[in-house]
Chains A and B, each alone.
Chain A
Amino acid sequence: MNENLFASFITPMILGLPLVTLIVLFPSLLFPTSNRLVNNRFVTLQQWMLQLVSKQMMSIHNPKGQTWTLTLMSLILFIGSTNLLGLLPHSFTPTTQLSMNLGMAIPLWAGAVITGFRNKTKTSLAHFLPQGTPTPLIPMLVIIETISLFIQPMALAVRLTANITAGHLLIHLIGGATLALMSISATTALITFIILILLTILEFAVAMIQAYVFTLLVSLYLHDNT
């Protein structure tokens, strides 16, 4: 059971070749580009949604921060699509791998922070001390703020990994419970199945929310630093 439970999280290989590359690249196929004025419904809806999200997310930034629009929009589309595709049966979700999420979180966070230190050194250093702290507390508070700064990329990566992995595990476990209960008592199996349906709805929401949260936090770090 242990082996089966975590089987969906091993990196997929086919005949010794890493399939994971193709799996990571696959969601880009689902966002077609089109040069027409009037597109089919699929492309129209995607363009409308992208416009909505980018307006909502990038309007708080100044022009220097708005140069990050392409990065952040690609990020939210990637995380959202990989999370949603991972909910299909027998699929692999790249965002369950901590390595991948660290690979996304650390460069983006570091980029925001280093931009802040390069361009607005005083303001960035000032972030280490919140306003209105009593004088004796200053050294400790600086240490705490430094720790909280350096924990940001870890938090980003681990948050995403943990949420998605936990969701997948729960679905698997409750599915297993339904399967086991079917031979014992059909009513309990039915109740468990209803729980499973509710959980699925939750997971769909979580998939999109996590993408949003990740991108929002990166944008927030950017806002502090531009």
Chain B
Amino acid sequence: MLSRVVLSAAAAAAPSLKNAALLGPGVLQATRIFHTGQPSLAPVPPLPEHGGKVRFGLIPEEFFQFLYPKTGVTASCELQRKILKGPYVLGTGLILYLLSKEIYVITPETFSAISTIGFLVYIVKKYGASVGEFADKLNEQKIAQLEEVKQASIKQIQDAIDMEKSQQALVQKRHYLFDVQRNNIAMALEVTYRERLHRVYREVKNRLDYHISVQNMMRQKEQEHMINWVEKRVVQSISAQQEKETIAKCIADLKLLAKKAQAQPELGRQ
């Protein structure tokens, strides 16, 4: 739409651009809206699972059913199913007619036809089922591969969802972590506080001990000093004369004691 407006504006503005009107239909085509109808090709209708049933690989079953009302059946025995014999008689008669009238001529080609067709029928009868199964297996593998991709993708997303949920659950339980940390910090603070208290106690005790030991030492020193002074004085006070008298007295006492000691053992022996 806009391009048409632009075109007309351009044509009005510069008359030499009127040649651009030749581009008009192209532009119109370019602006036409496509794909407005219902999509008729999708979804594709599903294929039938099995083909039509045939006899001898050539003649469809419907032919036999078609001739049933006209030719009837021949029941071989009561227990067996009724076999439709009409088309077989028709077929045999047709073949014999073609052969006898030489409408179909027996040539060398006939024998090659017999051998070729016989060989093909033998191959199909022997390997037909296994080849069919192989084809089915190929298709199944293809689908299984894609299915696996899909399942892997679903599983991945499911795992992501589970992880997200567990993360959210963990977030709910985060307060335990904080409580534990808080407790730890409180204990650490308590320990530090007690340690410091103990240190203070020890320091104070040290100082008091120091004072006590200082006092004790002073007293001891004073005592010693006093004793020494007294001794010195006493020793000084003992004059020489007193010393002689004391020594003479000690000797007299000792003699007395000796006599007593001598008298005593005699008394003892008696």
Q: Interface on A for B, CB 8 Å cutoff?
A: 4, 8, 36-41, 44-45, 48, 87-90, 171-179, 193, 196-197, 199-201, 204
Q: Which residues of A contact B143 (CB under 8 A)?
A: 37-38
Contact mask for chain B residues 191-231; partner A; CB cutoff 8 A; 1 contact, 0 none: 00000000000000000000000000000000000000000
A207 to chain B, nearest CB (A): 11
Q: B118–A197 contact, CB under 8 A? A: yes
Across the interface, do B111 and A37 meet the contact criterion of CB distance under 8 Å? no
Over the window 143-166 of chain B, the binary record of Cβ atoms lying under 8 Å from chain A Cβ atoms (1 yes, 0 no) is: 100100000000000000000000
Query: Can you report 28 residue pairs joining A to B where beta carbons are below 8 Å apart?
Result: A4-B107, A4-B108, A8-B109, A37-B146, A38-B139, A38-B143, A41-B132, A41-B136, A44-B139, A45-B131, A45-B135, A48-B135, A88-B116, A90-B113, A171-B112, A175-B107, A175-B108, A175-B111, A176-B108, A179-B108, A193-B111, A196-B111, A197-B115, A197-B119, A199-B115, A200-B115, A200-B119, A204-B119
Complex Cα distance, B115 from A171, in Å, reads 10
Tell me the dominant secondary structure on chain A's binding face: helix
Report the bound CA distance from A197 to B117 in whole Å: 10
- Tell me the smallest distance from the CB of B174 to a CB of chain A, in Å: 49
How many residue pairs bridge A and B at CB < 8 Å?
75
Residues of A within 8 A of B134 (CB): 45
Residue ranges of B at the interface with A (Cβ–Cβ < 8 Å): 44, 47, 106-113, 115-119, 131-132, 134-136, 138-139, 142-143, 146
Q: Are A200 and B112 in contact (CB under 8 A)?
A: yes
Instruction: Please report the C-alpha to C-alpha distance between residue A4 and residue B106 in the assembled complex, in whole angstroms.
Output: 13
With A89-B112, A175-B110 already in contact, the answer to whether A40 and B119 are too (CB < 8 A) is no
Docked complex Cα distance between A179 and B44 (Å): 54
Measured in the bound complex, the distance between the Cα atoms of B135 and A44 in whole Å is 6
Contacts of A45 in B (CB 8 A): 131, 134-135, 138
Cα–Cα distance between A141 and B113 once the two chains are bound (Å) = 50
A38 touches B119 (CB 8 A): no
What's the Cα separation between A178 and B115 when bound, in Å?
12
Report A-chain residues with C-beta under 8 Å of the C-beta of B119.
197, 200-201, 204
